[in-house]
């Protein structure tokens, strides 16, 4: 957890909502200078902070509407910090909770040097990263449609399809396998939607790849040298990391990727683990996928995993492999070196 500890003359805590902002401004002595609800918009926000622009910092909790506030502060040359939502919830929990209390607590945390910072992702890459996340959502919807076709086949005890339905030419005649007209219509709907997703996703992937190549082609090339990390996974990793320099140590990076579990200890006793939801879920998914794909057509890696599985179990062995891949990617991007398979398996 990283806290913002710099001092300022004025601290502005905002409880952020889609249509309203509850603004609390404190001075360095903790005196409340203004505390009121306003409409969510640049003009209203600039008007309320106008008398306190001298050495002002604005802080908000990380929720989906923070983009425009951060962009406004950048445009107006106002200091801005983003609060980590899960850490803030643990710190400013209380018996009573409302917008007025929350805005005061946010400002007080900033003034007291206890404001837990989240990473302020740059505006220039934010749209492409969000498009990548949207693509992942659509891919899961497409996978649900494919699974529904196979499940319906089993439901009616029909012979296995025996073909990979990822490819359009393998979907011909699938609906005709079902005699019931309503079931056939349901499968036709699945197939038509899969075709629509295929068309749209190919356009999205081209757009993302075009922007990624113009951003950091060398980093993309390095990531593609890892067996199992292809075009899509390399894009996910690149855009979720942004820059590897933001992580001082490999332990920080592994923690951010949710590749390690943190122990809960007190008085020398361990009470399990915690913080499973703190970190980047997309990087966790990417490295978990990479661990499975790393083993495909890779006999040395399969033998290495089998030895590890004998010591632990298969699930635990895959978790260790994902962690190991995450560490390898960190040092590759730090040192700008390609993947060394022999060193990876022998270390």
Q: How many domains does the chain contain in total?
A: 3
Does the residue 303 lie in any domain?
yes
Task: Measure the CA–CA gap between 7 and 35, rounded to whole angstroms.
Answer: 20
Does the residue 225 lie in any domain?
no
- Please identify, among 64, 85, 116, the residue that sits at the C-terminal boundary of a domain: 116
Burial class (CB in 10 A: 0-12, 13-18, 19+), 222: buried
Residues 7 and 111 occupy one common structural domain = yes
Does the residue 224 lie in any domain?
no
Question: Where residue 141 falls among pLDDT bands split at 50, 70, 90?
Answer: very high
Nearest to 78 by CA among 23, 30, 8, 4: 8
DSSP 160: P
Residues 32 and 15 occupy one common structural domain = yes
Residues 245 and 335 occupy one common structural domain = yes
Task: Measure the CA–CA gap between 205 and 213, rounded to whole angstroms.
Answer: 12
Does the residue 319 lie in any domain?
yes
Residues 262 and 321 occupy one common structural domain = yes
CATH of the domain at 90: 3.30.420.10
Question: Where residue 95 falls among pLDDT bands split at 50, 70, 90?
Answer: confident
Residues 129 and 77 occupy one common structural domain = no
- Please identify, among 116, 134, 162, the residue that sits at the C-terminal boundary of a domain: 116
pLDDT tens for residues 279-303?
A: 999 999 999 999 999 999 999 999 9
Tokens, residue 146: 């494919």
Residues 110 and 173 occupy one common structural domain = no
Does the residue 112 lie in any domain?
yes
Residues 82 and 15 occupy one common structural domain = yes
What residue spans of the chain are helical by DSSP H?
42-49, 66-76, 85-91, 99-111, 123-155, 181-215, 217-224, 231-241, 250-256, 281-294, 299-311, 314-335, 341-346
Residues 14 and 88 occupy one common structural domain = yes
How far separated are the first and last CA of the chain, in Å rounded? 30
pLDDT attached to residue 272: 77
170: pLDDT strictly greater than 80: yes
DSSP 298: -
Does the residue 291 lie in any domain?
yes
pLDDT attached to residue 90: 59
137: pLDDT strictly greater than 90: yes
Residues 87 and 27 occupy one common structural domain = yes
- Please identify, among 63, 95, 116, the residue that sits at the C-terminal boundary of a domain: 116
Does the residue 222 lie in any domain?
no
pLDDT tens for residues 232-278?
A: 899 999 999 999 999 999 999 999 999 988 878 888 788 777 777 88
Residues 168 and 238 occupy one common structural domain = no
Helix (H, G, I), strand (E, B), or coil: what is residue 272?
Answer: strand
pLDDT attached to residue 92: 64
Q: What is the pTM of this model?
A: 0.89
Using H for helix, E for strand and C for coil, what is the string for 24-72? EEEECCCCEEEEEEEECCHHHHHHHHHHHCCCEEEEEECCCCHHHHHHH
Domain that holds residue 206: 125-215
Residues 185 and 285 occupy one common structural domain = no
Residues 340 and 304 occupy one common structural domain = yes
Does the residue 226 lie in any domain?
no
């Amino acid at each position: 957890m990283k806290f913002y500890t710099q001092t300022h003359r004025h601290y502005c805590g905002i409880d952020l909502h889609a249509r309203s902002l509850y603004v609390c401004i404190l001075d360095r002595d903790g005196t409340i200078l203004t505390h009121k609800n306003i409409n969510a918009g640049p003009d209203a926000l600039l008007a309320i902070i106008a008398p306190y622009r001298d050495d002002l910092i604005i802080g908000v909790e990380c929720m989906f509407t923070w983009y425009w506030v951060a962009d406004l502060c950048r445009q107006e040359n106002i200091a801005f910090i983003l609060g980590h939502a899960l850490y803030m919830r643990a710190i400013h929990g209380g018996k009573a909770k409302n917008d007025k209390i929350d805005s005061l607590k946010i400002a007080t945390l900033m003034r007291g040097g206890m404001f837990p910072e989240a990473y302020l992702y740059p505006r220039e890459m934010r749209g492409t990263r969000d498009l990548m996340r949207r693509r992942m959502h659509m891919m899961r919807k497409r996978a649900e449609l494919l699974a529904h076709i196979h499940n319906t086949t089993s439901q009616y005890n029909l012979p296995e399809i025996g073909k990979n339905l990822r490819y359009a030419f393998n979907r011909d005649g699938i609906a005709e396998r079902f005699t019931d007209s309503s079931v056939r219509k349901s499968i036709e709907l699945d197939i038509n939607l899969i075709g629509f997703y295929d068309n749209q996703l190919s356009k999205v992937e081209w757009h993302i790849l075009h922007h990624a190549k113009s951003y950091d082609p060398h980093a993309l090339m390095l990531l593609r040298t890892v067996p199992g990390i292809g075009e899509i996974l390399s894009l996910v990793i690149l855009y979720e990391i942004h820059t590897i320099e933001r992580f001082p140590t490999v332990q920080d990076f592994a923690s951010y990727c949710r590749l390690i579990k943190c122990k809960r200890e007190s008085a020398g006793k361990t009470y399990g683990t915690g913080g499973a939801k703190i970190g980047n879920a997309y990087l966790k998914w990417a490295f978990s996928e990479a661990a499975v794909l790393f083993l495909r057509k890779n006999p040395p890696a399969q033998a290495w995993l089998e030895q590890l599985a004998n010591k632990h179990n298969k699930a635990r062995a895959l978790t260790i492999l994902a962690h190991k891949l995450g560490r390898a990617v960190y040092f590759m991007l730090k040192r700008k070196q390609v993947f060394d398979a022999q060193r990876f398996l022998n270390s």
